[in-house]
Amino acid sequence: MAERAEPTELTRMTATGIAGLVAAGEVSAVEVARAHLDRIAATDQRVHAFLQVDTEGATAAAAAVDAARAAGAPLSPLAGVPVAVKDVFATRGLPTTCGSKILEGWRPPYDATTVARLRAAGLVVLGKTNMDEFAMGSSTEYSAYGPTRNPWDLARIPGGSGGGSSASLAAFQAPLAIGSDTGGSIRQPGAVTGTVGVKPTYGGTSRYGLVAFSSSLDTPGPCARTVADAAALHAVIAGHDPGDSTSIPQPVPDVVAAAARGATGDLAGVRLGLVRELAGEGAEPGVMAAFREAVDALTKLGAEVVEVSCPHFGYALPAYYLIAPSECSSNLARFDGVRYGLRTGDDGTRALEEVMSLTREAGFGPEVKRRIMLGTYALSSGYYDAYYGQAQKVRTLIARDFTAAFAQADALISPTTPFVAFRFGERTADPYQMYLADLYTIPANLAGTPAISVPCGLSGGMPVGLQVMAPAMADDRMYRVAAALESVLPAPAPPQL
């Protein structure tokens, strides 16, 4: 038997590598869990990736994997691998706050489908990660529980809204994480932390138990440090779910095989569309330099790169910031202080409507209130057709742009974000400047198509991501391209914490 891996080595291994050791009995799942829990204890005071660490639950889940292996039971491909879960997923018995005071202390009596599938596959849930409140933000500065810091530079943001999940990966606190992507909340944090973030096809992963922000956009997805690990996690959580009315009732493409094929570095016969409208508008020079080097690398791997135009992508940002707030103003009406969560001002003398108003005033943060008001206005009588209705028409035009572009190319490429991670406080005073972080990611959400961010270099010492977009239910294409790029441009490691 080979020498046993040291705890520090375990936290820097790939998820598939850890699973192989556990399956072979060369390390126990409990040892793996403890190594990552120790890493969290040693680093999270500085990073603040986690809102809740479930030491007892993680240890028990790991022990169950070890018992199953000892009994000779078959193990799933990722059994015994730790995973961090964004705090927007209902998790039985654990606080699920969505980064908001209005849900502080709420413990769901059930698991989201994504979480249930993780547990069924033997993954070990380490805890819940920090996020912008109700997934509304691009920096994790809007969490009611304080910001998460980027392990590359603790003075900078880790992206958002899922900054806690991406930071946990970059800090080697977890080998895998789960996020949700409404306008870029998995891919943008992945880009600025040098990790891999995936938005699957809308409906390819279940929204059941995902606390809703924008129901027609929200998409659960995998976060990892390698493309192969992301594909393996994708395979666990994807697939039809009768509990979600938007779930697609057809088989998920073999993303694991696609990533393995891409890792050989062969893209012969693959045509990639460079989206003209996402190739430099507002981007930092360093980001574009890293992106161009990555495009050259893809060409050397045999891909044919052609320029394509998606003329309506320029309207994606304003359309998104009408559609998403409109849906959030409806979805967040359920948080009223009556059924669960925070209740403020109920002294026995106030009417129910006043208690509800006081609860929402105390429980919701400024960005959530801003979006609720925007959405309520856009849906109001006399304005619906002019704002929400028009935005939905733009959404249709963007979907048609994708259809036309995919007639010319197998997959599309662009930078993931226009800029690298910025410093805390740089954009909070101007919401529009914050919203620009999602400039390149939003079109895929509006169309429901899959997209992945993969590291493609550095700018000023900070990570840059390349985005690969594919047609709906062709998630395997983006994995092949991303894995091929990773084979020649491996992600650089962040500085030691």
pLDDT in tens, the chain (497 residues): 345 667 679 999 999 999 999 999 999 999 999 999 999 999 999 999 999 999 999 999 999 999 999 999 999 999 999 999 999 999 999 999 999 999 998 999 999 999 999 999 999 999 999 999 999 999 999 999 999 999 999 999 999 999 999 999 999 999 999 999 999 999 999 999 999 999 999 999 999 999 999 999 999 999 999 999 999 999 999 999 999 999 999 999 999 999 999 999 999 999 999 999 998 778 999 999 999 999 999 999 999 999 999 999 999 999 999 999 999 999 999 998 888 888 888 888 898 888 888 889 999 999 999 999 999 999 998 899 999 999 999 999 999 999 999 999 999 999 999 999 999 999 998 988 999 999 999 999 999 999 999 999 999 999 999 999 999 999 999 999 999 999 999 888 888 88
Residues 6+ apart with CB under 8 A from 296: none
371 and 280 in contact (C-beta within 8 Å)?
no
What's the topology of domain 7-316+392-488?
Answer: Amidase signature (AS) enzymes (3.90.1300)
Would you call 253 helix, strand, or coil by DSSP?
Answer: coil
Phi, psi of 141 (to 5 degrees): -80, -15
Encoded amino acid at 144, one letter:
A
Residues 6+ apart with CB under 8 A from 322: 374, 375, 378, 387, 388, 390, 391
**Alpha-carbon gap, residue 174 to 177, rounded angstroms:** 7
Are β-strands 411-415 and 271-275 bridged in parallel, bridged antiparallel, or unpaired? parallel
**Alpha-carbon gap, residue 83 to 33, rounded angstroms:** 10
Residues 6+ apart with CB under 8 A from 462: 152, 153, 156, 192, 420, 421
**Alpha-carbon gap, residue 338 to 352, rounded angstroms:** 9
Phi, psi of 469 (to 5 degrees): -115, 140
For residue 492, what pLDDT is reported? 86
The structure's pTM equals 0.96
CA distances from 489 to 51, 60, 261, 469 (A): 33, 38, 16, 19
102 and 363 in contact (C-beta within 8 Å)?
yes
Phi, psi of 229 (to 5 degrees): -65, -40
- Token pair, residue 252, equals 């998920």
What is the enclosing helix (H) or strand (E) of 184? none
CA distances from 262 to 78, 257, 480, 486 (A): 20, 9, 4, 9
**Alpha-carbon gap, residue 394 to 388, rounded angstroms:** 10
Active site positions, annotated: 86, 161, 185
**Alpha-carbon gap, residue 450 to 441, rounded angstroms:** 10
For residue 356, what pLDDT is reported? 86
How buried is 254 (Cβ within 10 angstroms: 0-12 exposed, 13-18 middle, 19+ buried)? middle
For residue 495, what pLDDT is reported? 85
For residue 3, what pLDDT is reported? 53
For residue 280, what pLDDT is reported? 75
* Full DSSP string of 470-489: --TT-HHHHHHHHHHHHHHS
What is the enclosing helix (H) or strand (E) of 422? none
Encoded amino acid at 376, one letter:
T
